[in-house]
Amino acid sequence: MLIMAVDLGLARTGVALSDAGEAFAFPKGVIAEKNETALVGKIVAAAKEYGAGRIVVGLPKNMDGSSGERAEASERIANKITELSGIETVLFDERCTTVCAHTYLNMNDVRGKKRKNTVDAVAATLILEDYLKSIKK
């Protein structure tokens, strides 16, 4: 089954997709959308276009494991995605993925506008990689 992951942001949302064997994660791009309703529609459209059987939504917990405002927004958006698409949607802890994405881009000397347009897709890929590892255990 193809699994799609999203790293929700205030202005940009990263998207990644697995292979059918659920072994690898690939960045698919970024959805630039600030309006929550429009964002949900675009996520659902992408999932249907890719043929995703499950959507993983990054859950940005605080470092102590508690949930803050962004985690609550992620839960709300995940519920809307499920309602609109009928596709199973799961929340997955994404602590530190954006920091790791920035580190990865630093190591690969990705700078400027290209970096801004790829960091969210890289973060979504990291979320998906971690999720795939967790379901293989």
The β-bridge partners of 13 are: 31
Q: Which residues contact 7 (CB under 8 A, 6 or more apart)?
A: 13, 14, 16, 58, 94, 97, 98, 120, 121, 123, 124, 127
Nearest to 92 by CA among 62, 57, 122: 57
Q: How far apart are CA 131 and CA 52, in angstroms?
A: 15
Classify burial at 121, counting beta carbons within 10 Å of its beta carbon; exposed 0-12, middle 13-18, buried 19 or more: buried
Total domains in the fold of the chain:
1
Nearest to 26 by CA among 57, 3, 8: 3
pTM: 0.85
Q: Residue 90's domain is classified under what CATH number?
A: 3.30.420.140
Q: Can you give the residue range of the structural domain that contains 71? A: 3-136
Phi, psi angle pair for 26, to nearest 5°? -130, 135
pLDDT in 10s for each residue of the chain, 137 residues? 999 999 998 899 999 999 999 999 999 999 999 999 999 999 999 999 999 999 999 998 766 766 678 889 999 999 999 999 999 999 998 866 666 655 655 565 656 665 566 778 888 998 999 999 999 87
Across 4-14, b (16+ Cβ under 10 Å) vs e yields bbbbbbeebbb
The secondary structure of residue 5, as a DSSP letter, is E
